[in-house]
Amino acid sequence: MTEKINFSKYNYALKMLETEVDILLQEFTIHHGYNPVEHVKSRIKTEQSIQNKLKEKNLEYNERNVLLHVPDVVGLRIVVSFLSDVYDIVALIHNSHNIIIKKRKDYIANPKESGYTSYHLLVLVPIYLENHVEYVEAEIQIRTIAMDFWASIDHKIRYKFPDVIPPDVSKALENYAEDIKELDKKMYYLNKIMNNYQENL
């Protein structure tokens, strides 16, 4: 019989994370006069997805294994305008008094073989229960609009080819990832030019 997992603490953690990030972004906008965020998405990983992830690792579906081996049950994705904004948001979260960064993965500086780029933070989020404070792991992904577009297409293609992606499709994805990287660089320099004009007004 499959063990029933209590997802309450993950829902609490997501609400805490959403609230904290929203406050941080509002403060950033007030101090810098600029909102770098295009949109924020959040989710709790589905039970089926968690089961599949544990099955891939040859692990039973139980509360202990979810806690130890599925750190991204709670997920938040922050999509920003420009490449420099990614690192501004990372710094913003780093300076938070309520979110603890446990691990960083900079897939922008070190892309995955597929071409995937994004900045991942594995964080600890406090939830205030009746008798104690508990920290719940969550994953925050920060990426540009261009990176998000590529990742969305990549996800759809991998859904269509769950076993093996045809080599020509895989190669095309890698090439387009390079195009995305170049586009982000161009938009980064465009943003610098715009900022220079604003400073000289």
CA dist., res. 104 & res. 107, Å (int):
9
Give 10-residue mean pLDDT values along the chain (201 residues).
Answer: 77 96 95 92 94 92 91 97 96 95 96 93 94 94 96 87 84 91 92 80 63
8-199 has which fold? Beta Polymerase; domain 2 (3.30.460)
140 neighbors 76 (Cβ within 8 angstroms): yes
**Using alpha carbons only, what angle is made at residue 80 by residues 146 and 103, rounded to the nearest 5 degrees?**
100
pTM summary value: 0.90
Nearest one of 54, 93, 60 to 72, comparing CA atoms: 54
Pairing relationship of beta strands 100-106 and 119-128 according to DSSP bridges: antiparallel
Q: Which residues pair with 97 in a beta bridge?
A: none
So what's the pLDDT on residue 198?
A: 73
